[in-house]
Amino acid sequence: MRAKEKKYFRQKLLEKRAELISVVQKTEDYGRQVNTEAEGMDLADKASSSYTKEFMFSKSDGDRQLLQEVVDALRRLDDGDFGKCMNCEEEVERKRLEAVPWSPFCLSCQAKVEANR
């Protein structure tokens, strides 16, 4: 992969990482805020608040996982492995990298991974 392409994908990954860090941090802040506000609530409000908090944390788990995938892609970029499928070691399709630059697999290997879930 050429230096210009690496720079382009690094920028995309850094932007996504910053976005995800912001989302995860806001969710954590919201959880702390709900805990402090829960003291003066009645039972129904506490239940509603608890449900909202659990929903936000479950969403945050997905964001955290995606954040880890982005961090892993940045590491692969630094190591010179970015753009190679981590399974078959073939080049990951350019269109796939454009759409999902943190993807560690080519389309056919990704299909195999999803079929085994």
Q: What is the mean pLDDT of each run of 10 residues along the chain (117 residues)?
A: 92 96 82 60 64 63 91 96 96 95 96 92
pLDDT score for 37: 56
DSSP state letter for 105: S
56 token code pair: 């936000």
CA dist 40 and 73 (Å) reads: 45
Domain span(s) for CATH 1.20.120.910 in the chain: 3-82
The pLDDT score that the predictor gives to residue 24 is: 85
Burial of 97 (0-12, 13-18, 19+ CB in 10 A): buried
Give which of 9, 4, 31 is closest to 82, Cα–Cα: 9
Q: How far apart are CA 97 and CA 8, in angstroms?
A: 11
Distance CA 45, CA 8 (A): 47
Q: State residue 32's pLDDT score.
A: 65
* Fold for the domain defined by 3-82: Four Helix Bundle (Hemerythrin (Met), subunit A) (1.20.120)
Question: What predicted TM-score, i.e. pTM, was given to this entire model?
Answer: 0.76
